[in-house]
Amino acid sequence: MTQSVVVQVGQCGNQVGCRFWDLALREHAAVNKKGIYDEALSSFFRNVDTRAGGDGADIHKGKIFSLKARALLIDMEEGVVNEILQGPLREVFDSKQLITDVSGSGNNWAVGHKQYGNQYREHIVEKLRRTAEHCDCLQCFFVIHSMGGGTGSGLGTFVLNVLEDEFPEVYRFVTSVYPSGEDDVITSPYNSVLAMKELNEHADCVLPIENESLFSIVSKIHQMTNSGKLGSTVKQNSLLTLSAGRIKTEQEKPFDAMNNIVANLLLNLTSSARFEGSLNMDLNEVSMNLVPFPRLHYLVSSLTPLYTLADVNVPSRRLDQMFSDAFSKDHQLIQADPKHSLYLACALLVRGNVQVSDLRRNIERLKPSLHFVSWNQEGWKTGLCSVPPVGHSHSLLALANNTCVKPTFIELKDRFMKLYKKKAHLHHYLHVDGMEQSCFSEAISSLSDLIEEYSQLDATKGVPRTDPSRLKIAV
Amino acid sequence: MSIVTVQLGQCGNQIGYEVFNAICRDFHSTHGLCSKKENESYQAASKERFFSEEETGVPVARAVLVDMEPKVISQTLSRAARSGLWKYDHQSHFCQKQGSGNNWANGYSVHGPRYRDVIMNLVQKEAEKCDRLSGFFTVMSMAGGTGSGMGTFVTQCLRDAFPTSFILNQVIWPYGTGEVIVQNYNSVLTLSHLYQSSDALLVHENDAIHKICAQLMNIKKISFGDVNQVIAHQLGSVFQPTYASEGASQYSRSPLGDLMESLVPHPEFKMLGLRNIPQMSENSLAYSTFTWPGLIKHLRQMLIANATMEEGINWQVRPPLPGHPVPQKASPNKAQHFNTSIANLVVLRGKDVQSVDLGVFREPALYTSWLNPQDAVNVWKTPRAFNKYEKSAALVSNSQFLLKLTDNIVGKAWNMFASKAYLHQYTKFGIEEEDFLDSFTTLEQVISSYASL
């Protein structure tokens, strides 16, 4: 069994990360009734005997003493991390896993990346090494951050570089929250595009998220659970937006519901690596199957169902609905419509009481309405994990490498160019040691190249297929 | 003589478990429909072939379990132990932590060489437990990374370490509509490499078995467990003990040798298909009766029309009439062409086997011209019924069964290769474009050879 380490950077990264740890504990508590520290738990948690004080030694088997998250919390302000350390999750984090500062990055990628990056590099490397040493087989780093600010975006991508340099064999999966159109941070386009270049070059897979999509999903769930008709039959603990151990009516912090969705995304993505199933899908398989060309590693994700009705018997119609929903644009975690764009590859990870025949039936059913690139007509990667998420009998995570990400990138580029043409706010960046105009031009050029690659693929959509001729053998 | 099984990857281990389970249940079965003496003889032969004895009396499967991640092996070992009827030797497994990531190159070029010594040691230990070693089964899927890549490497090691033993690779052909996106690459690399070191490849197609589960067994929600149990039944129906020749007084001691001798006269032709009838759910079994002429007739038509099960057979397909010019060279695209055989092996089990007439299988028109039709057909029999089927007939065939399938997979892989998609994932572990081209060439050759039968 392998381990993964979560590196949460910046305000957004830490808030999402916090939700992730909350839900991970809940998930394992639901499955692990005997309180034994098992392989599944060890993928994200260490078991430490803290009674002796100091840094307890790791306990690899037997009873659970004290679970510590395999995480690194990085923020250049103290507010968010302090809150976490005072909240219900304080026991899960070790003070040695934190890197904080006081003044923040001022929504400036250059400050995050160049200034704090260089300042804290050694610190970061040292803490990463310690976390890695506690793992006997480290498979993946999950970086969680937002693109629009300064710390998450700048320092977060700096950390990505460090990960590649220091741990080249370990996968780097990045969950990036992209800024929305009405983002109140004026310089978010700069920050995002500068970060994109780093993601293009140093990430193995990127899961882009947009707040607008999370928001509509949250609204939809509220609607369903509060409306008279279905409200009473929805199982309360099944909402995708729910935090662990809280009843719905209790006052939640504003972004908690949205962040819980992202946390669930990560839990589902790693479920098949942690729990058993008839067709396992590990993280290295995700990267292998969904990334046909090194730079095209942006995966659009969707999670279904959003909630479960209390009705225990699941007729296969409901199951099939789950599959249909996964492809609808309302369930995607970015503003995109994969059905009307071109698929390069698609992965379906099913959890719970679902068998291979259900999977095949639905693939056959949905295939005709989807456009796949000519050289990957049956580009499906499937996984079956027997353990469902808490509150559900089954669930589905769909990951698509699809050209529908292009509009998001084009918009980002447009917003960047609007500012850049007028050289607005540029001096704040160039001011920073190590930052030059060429950083900007390289970044926008990297983004343009990426958009061009997607455009070329789009151009092949709908064109009648001519298969390349096969090798001829002399008889 | 005994067979050592090497279970590779998730699929190999899941299927391997079902096979040993089916065999064990079969020899414990009281529905043998034969004399006590016969039954005892059968049990002893089956046990010796697949299991070794331990002091506790619980049979221990002659198997080595290999996987690059621990969950499946751990499950497999405990399921077997829980059954109470048999178990695995808990020392006889090897696993790592990370898996092969569905990457053939990772399995073949990295994991294979790295763990070669450990694994071959385990195999050697199992081989030494056998009084006489008949040969090896490997069970692996072509779609993933460990079974396919590492399995191929291990097969080569087996060939090097045991040059005189027989190696039969059970290869699982993945569902046509994806289980793994790079399955076509992995399959092409596997098939082309196995051709060098394996004696024969016995192919099971997920799509075909799935249909059997749906239409013949009437299973509503088909799981991989169901699919694997059907495969296990089919394998058991061939490899449980039989008398390999008329008038033999002892169960055959060399099943793999007999198989290779009957079916693989030429090293260019190693792809074997397996069919088994009847196949049905246990509930229906109680209400069905079969006659040998009926079963043989269906099996023969399944052969010549390339049907994978006894329903929906195309009865229009007929062998070419003698004396008439041979119909135009079979192109892999022609849907209804007649399936020409090189050699066939028919395995009959159950009531009244002695009375079965296999004349219809010996018609020269079914075969290519190189072998004498008398030599092209071999029959193994036993009056001892298998797995509660009063009569059961299995066919292992070296014919054009797999021609279209192979052609399809090569076509899809070539298509993907032409766009260079995913190649960076393979080159990073040392499999270059030239290696791919070599594999494509090998397989086009195999396709061409089978097509011109």
Chain-chain contact of B101 with A288 (C-beta, under 8 angstroms): yes
Between CA B54 and CA B129 the distance in angstroms is 11
**CB-defined contacts A:B, below 8 A:** 143
β-partners of residue B349 are: B382, B392
Residue that the structure tokens 């829980």 belong to: B82
pLDDT tops 90 at residue A141:
yes
Q: Identify the pLDDT of residue A88.
A: 87
Mean predicted lDDT score pLDDT of chain A: 88
pLDDT of A182 reads 76
**By CB neighbour count within 10 A (0-12 exposed, 13-18 middle, 19+ buried), where does A117 fall?**
buried
Q: How many residues does chain A have?
A: 475
Q: What angle do CA A451, A455, A458 make, to 5 degrees?
A: 140
Kindly report the number of other CB atoms within 10 A of residue A366's CB atom.
18
Answer for the pair B13, B142: CB distance below 8 angstroms, yes or no. Answer: no
ipTM over 0.85: yes
In this structure, are residues B364 and B324 in contact, taking their beta carbons and an 8 Å threshold? no
Share of chain A above pLDDT 90, in %: 60
Confidence (pLDDT) at A96: 87
B70-109 per-position pLDDT tens digit: 999 999 999 999 988 999 999 999 999 888 999 999 999 9
Contacts of B214 in chain A (CB under 8 A): 357
A157's tokens: 């991508």
Question: Contact B101/A285, CB-based, under 8 Å?
Answer: yes
- For residue A339, which phi and psi values (nearest 5 degrees)? -65, -30
A381 interfacial to chain B (CB closer than 8 Å): yes
Would strands A98-100 and A71-75 be described as parallel, antiparallel, or unpaired?
parallel
Chain B within 8 Å of A133 (Cβ-Cβ)?
no
Least confident span in A310-314, A393-397, A471-475, B88-92: A310-314
CA distance B232 to chain A (A): 16
Q: Cβ(B359)–Cβ(B327) under 8 Å?
A: no
What whole-number distance in Å separates Cα of residue A349 and Cα of residue A399? 8
Question: What is the C-alpha separation between A385 and A273, in angstroms, rounded?
Answer: 9
What's the pLDDT score for residue A164?
A: 96
What is the band of A248 on the pLDDT scale with cuts at 50, 70, 90? very low
Test the B interface: residue of A378, A384, A387, A456 with most B CBs within 10 Å: A378
- DSSP structural state of residue B95: E
Cis status of the peptide bond prior to B320, with omega within 30 of 0: no
Pairing of strands A66-69, A45-48: antiparallel
Percent of chain A with pLDDT over 70: 92
- Of the pLDDT bands very low, low, confident and very high (cuts 50, 70, 90), residue A413 is very high
Residue B343 pLDDT: 93
Given a contact cutoff of 8 angstroms between Cβ atoms, the answer to whether A473 and B448 are in contact is: yes
pLDDT of A387 reads 92
Q: Which of A280, A357, A470 sits opposite B444 (nearest CB)?
A: A470
Q: What is the pLDDT, as a whole number, of residue A252?
A: 57
Total residues belonging to chain B: 453
B238 Cβ neighbours under 8 A, 6+ residues apart? B274, B276, B345, B347, B394, B396
Distance from CA of A14 to the nearest CA of B (A): 28
Coil vs helix vs strand at B391: strand
Residue A57: is its pLDDT beyond 80?
A: no
Listed in sequence order, the residues at least 6 apart from A313 whose beta carbon sits closer than 8 Å to its beta carbon are none
Token pair 């644009």 is at which residue?
A329
Strands A380-385 and A342-352: parallel
Confidence of residue A467 (pLDDT cuts 50, 70, 90): confident
Q: B138 - beta bridge partners?
A: B6, B169
Cβ(A356)–Cβ(A279) below 8 Å: yes
* Cis amide linkage into residue B373, ω under 30° from 0: no
CB A379 within 8 A of CB A338: no
3-state secondary structure (DSSP) of residue B111: helix
Q: Are strands A98-100 and A138-146 parallel, antiparallel or unpaired?
A: unpaired
What 3-state class would DSSP assign to B32? coil
- From the CA of B421, how many Å to the nearest CA of chain A? 5
Cα dihedral: A364, B72, B116, B54 (round 10): -130
The mean per-residue pLDDT over the stretch A403-409 comes to: 94
User: Is the CB of residue A460 less than 8 Å away from at least one CB of chain B?
Assistant: no
Residue A232 has pLDDT above 90, yes or no: no
**CA torsion, points B338, B340, B343, B344, in degrees to nearest 10?**
-10
> Helix axis angle, A156-166 relative to A117-133, nearest 10°?
50
Task: Report the gap between the CA of A389 and the closest CA in chain B (Å).
Answer: 19
CA dist., res. A155 & res. A6, Å (int): 15
Residues of chain B with pLDDT under 70: 322-336
pLDDT for A257: 86
CB-facing half-sphere around the CA of A368: CA atoms within 13 A: 3
User: Is the C-alpha dihedral spanning A368, A372, A373, A379 positive or negative?
Assistant: negative
Q: What is the DSSP letter of B243?
A: B
Structure confidence at residue B69 (pLDDT):
87
Q: Which of A1, A289, A453 to mutate to test the interface with B (most CBs of B within 10 A)?
A: A289
Nearest chain B residue to A276, by CA: B71
Which SS3 state, helix, strand or coil, does residue B386 take? strand
State the SS3 of B126-189.
HHHHCCCEEEEEEEEECCCCHHHHHHHHHHHHHHHHCCCCEEEEEEEECCCCCCCCCHHHHHHH
Q: Are A384 and A285 in contact (CB under 8 A)?
A: no
pLDDT at position A247 = 44
Nearest CA in chain A to B73: A276
CB A127 within 8 A of CB A72: yes
Of A371, A446, A362, A448, which Cα lies nearest the Cα of A403? A371
Model confidence pLDDT, tens digit, residues A234-243: 676 777 777 7
Q: In this predicted structure, what is the pLDDT of residue B322?
A: 66
Minimal C-alpha gap between A250 and chain B (Å): 39
| Amino acid found at B239 | F
The answer to whether B327 and B338 have CB atoms below 8 angstroms apart is yes
Which candidate from B145, B222, B412 shows the least CB-CB separation from A356? B222
CA distances from B160 to B3, B255, B419 (A): 17, 21, 36
Q: Which residue has the tokens 């049905």?
A: B280
3-class secondary structure for chain A? Answer: CCEEEEEEEHHHHHHHHHHHHHHHHHHHHHHCCCCECCHHHHCCEEEECCCCCCCCCECCCCECCEEEECEEEEECCCHHHHHHHHCCCHHHCCHHHEEECCCCCCCCHHHHHHHHHHHHHHHHHHHHHHHHHCCCCEEEEEEEEECCCCHHHHHHHHHHHHHHHHCCCCEEEEEEEECCCCCCCCCHHHHHHHHHHHHHHHCCEEEEEEHHHHHHHHHHHHHHHHCHHHHCCECHHHCCCCCCCCCCCCCCCCCHHHHHHHHHHHHHHHHHHHCCCCECCCHHHHHHHHCCCCCCCECEEEEECCCCECCCCCCHHHHHHHHHHHCCHHHECCCCCHHHCEEEEEEEEEEECCCHHHHHHHHHHHHHHCEECHHHCCCEEEEEECCCCCCCCEEEEEEEEEHHHHHHHHHHHHHHHHHHHCCCCHHHHHCCCCCCHHHHHHHHHHHHHHHHHHHHHHHCCCCCCCCCCCCCCCC
Under DSSP, the state recorded for B348 is E
Calpha distance A192→B335 (Å, rounded): 54
Residue B379 has a pLDDT of 92
Closest partner residue to A355 (CB to CB) among B175, B223, B418 is B223
Q: Is the pLDDT of residue A142 over 50?
A: yes
| A276 shares contact with chain B (CB less than 8 Å) | yes
Q: Say which residues have a Cβ less than 8 Å from residue B436's Cβ, sequence separation at least 6.
A: B185, B188, B189, B417, B423, B426
Q: Which two tokens stand for residue A365?
A: 């059913």
CA Rg value for chain B:
21
